Structure 1
Amino acid sequence: MIALVGLAGSGKSEAGKVLQALGYTVVYFGGAVLEEVRRRGLEVTAENEREVREDLRRQHGMAAMAILKLPEIERVQAQGAKVAVDGLYSFAEYELLRERLGHRLKLIAIHTPRALRYQRLAARAVRPLSPEQIDQRDYFEIKNLDKGGPIAIADVHLVNAADAETLHRRVEEAVATLENSI
C-alpha cells in the first residue's frame, strides 16, 4: 500500500492518477469529509469542509480519516488489489495504518513551492482556494493535525515544480523502487 502525503496543491491527486494507471485502487481520505458534507446537506466549500473535517476528528480522534476509510481499504485488499491512499494527513492516521500493515505501508511525499501551490489551487475548477485560505489550511494541518510527521518520514520525496508529465514519470519511478523494496 502506498500513501501520498503533502500539502494542499502539491500534486497528490495527480500522483493518484498515475497510481491508478499502474493498477492501484485509489482511496481518497478527503472523500470521507466530502461524503459527510453532502450527507449533512451542506454546500461543498472550504469553510464547510474545514468544519466537517474538524468535527469528524472530534468524534473519531486524529486518526479519523483512516478509521472511516479502513473498511474500504480492507475491502479492496481482500479483493487482491493494490491500494493507494490519496491524502494521508495526520501522524495518528499513519500510525493506525502502520499498525495494520507494518512495513508494507510506503509513503510518497510530494513537495511543491508555495507560490506554485497558490497558482494551482486558485485555478482549479473544483474547490478553488485563495492564498489566505491555503495558508490557514496549511498552518492548521501542520499545527493541529501533525501533518508534517508523515511528510518528514516518507520513504520517497518528490519535488513537483514542473509539468504533469514530469510528475508522472517521477511517480512511476518511485513506485517501481518501492515495489522492488517490498
Structure 2
Amino acid sequence: MTTNTNGFSTDIRVNGEKLDCVNRFKYLGAIIADEGSKPEILARIAQATAALAKLKTIWNDMNIAFSSKIRLMRSLVISIFLYVFESWTLTAYTERRIQAMEMRCLRKLLGITYRDHISNEEVRNITRQANGPHEDLLTTVKRSKLKWYGHITRSSGLAKTILQGTVQGERRRSRQKKRWEDNIPEWTA
C-alpha cells in the first residue's frame, strides 16, 4: 500500500516478484486503509455488535443486576470495539456512529427498542439512575487518545519522531482529509 496522491503507480519487487498495490490490508487484527480510520471503526462497530448479539440470553435474563450487565458489556463488547482506537482519526460521521453503537448497547441491556419511542437522553438517564454516573464511549475514546498523545510527546522514542515528523512538499489543494493530529487541538481548545 502506498500513500500516493499523484496517480502514478509504484513497482516494488521482492526477489524479482512484483508486489501488488492494495488500498487496504489487515495487520495485527486492524485494518490499515488509504482512506483513513473509517473502515477500521466500522469494522470494530460490526464486531462489537456481533458480540452484543451473541450475549442475548444474558441481556434478557431478569435475574442479573443491571450493574452486572454493564460490567459484562464493558468487558465483553466494548473491549472488542476499543482495540487500537488510539490510532483512529475521528470525524463527525465516525463520532455519530460511535454514539449510535453505544446507544444500541444500552438499549439492548435495558430491553428498550426504538419502537418504544424513548429518546436517547431518557435511556442515558435510566442508565445513570440504575448504575450511577459513567463516562460515555466517545468521551472514553477522546480522553484515552489525548492521554496517549501526551505520553508520546513526553517520551523520546521512535513514536515521537514519527508523530512530530514532517514530509517534504505541500498538502494538495482543495478540502484536506482530516489527519490524526487534527483531533488534538479540536478537543483541547
TM-score tier after normalising by the smaller chain length: 0.3 to 0.5
Structure having greater relative contact order (Cα 8 Å, sep ≥ 6): 1
Higher strand share: 1
- TM-score, normalised to structure 1, is 0.36
